[in-house]
Structure 1
């Protein structure tokens, strides 16, 4: 699971990064509001930890901008503000939860787990006759269950989440392989061929098409 922390205090975001990485989460950090929105649109994380007071753009406005792009990703406010008015303002902007500073890391971790669990229980992604169930890690083609490796599953999920959009090889390496440096992207072609074979697709008429010299696009 990928978590984006939008927080300008190094002491806090380093503490959160270290603790959450120890729990197995992939962590990205943005230290101001504008960069936070930009990074969200680049990576589409699974959850956002958002500070209320930020340089560049206030957290409440960051929340509103994120909600213009994505209605589902859980957003948890981290803030010293705790009045009823501000809580309501944050929830109306699209936040899912509100954690007052200073907070217990154990409490934050449990809140994160609850939001992930709630989201996964309801989330089924579709691409034509393909349905992908995040909670059970199950893929069905029509009524037939198809077995995938973890990497194949993650690649298929990424393509479905970006359905209708060209996904470059560099984006796929960055988001699916979590490699953000120069890397031989030809490995992606091997995994795409494996997906197509298991789903009985051909290059021209399947749900996943090659965009020559760029990457791939998934369409119903």
Structure 2
């Protein structure tokens, strides 16, 4: 078992997506943390200090845009890349509005997810 201590947080209220993403990412050696809401997001992210965050657009209670903007306005957390993901047709616009570094449209291909995560980590 390789230990590389890469940490990722997934904010999504869809249990199926959380379980699939968790399984795939843990297989790749990620330490995966999941939350089904973005309440107290600054506290949650500060405690874990992940390498990357996957953010759903329709996450309770405030939604992904507000949650991402809160992270990006925090000096301590703003450098953590956020990958926005949503089934919304204007995801590119939403991701830009939120201040996310990248986006993935749902339903997504797991290889796309891996490529996008690698992309923001090497950017």
TM-score bracket relative to the smaller structure: 0.7 to 0.9
Instruction: Check the 8 A contact 2:104/2:116 in 1, yes or no.
Output: no
Any gaps of 5 or more consecutive residues in structure 2? 1-5
1:75: how far off? 0.4
Tell me the equivalent position of 1:22: 27
Are residues 17 and 35 of structure 1, via their aligned partners in 2, closer, same or farther at CA, if it must alter by over 3 Å?
farther
Q: 2:100 aligns with which of 89, 95, 98?
A: 95
Note the C-alpha offset of 1:37.
3.8
RMSD (Å), alpha carbons: 1.4
Q: Which runs of 4+ in 1 moved over 4 A?
A: none
Where does residue 86 of structure 2 map in the other structure?
A: 79
1:63 is matched with 68
For residues 28-66 of structure 1, what are the alpha-carbon distances to aligned partners after superposition, in whole Å with 9 as ceiling and x for unaligned? 011101154431122121100000001112110000111
Aligned residues of 2:25 and 2:32 also touching (Cα < 8 A): yes
Task: Using structure 1 for the length normalisation, give the TM-score.
Answer: 0.50
Find the aligned partners of 1:6 and 1:37 in 2 and give their Cα distance: 13
Q: TM-score, normalised by structure 2?
A: 0.87
Q: Which ranges of structure 1 fall in alignment gaps of 5 or more residues?
A: 119-220
Deviation at 1:82, TM superposition (A): 2.1
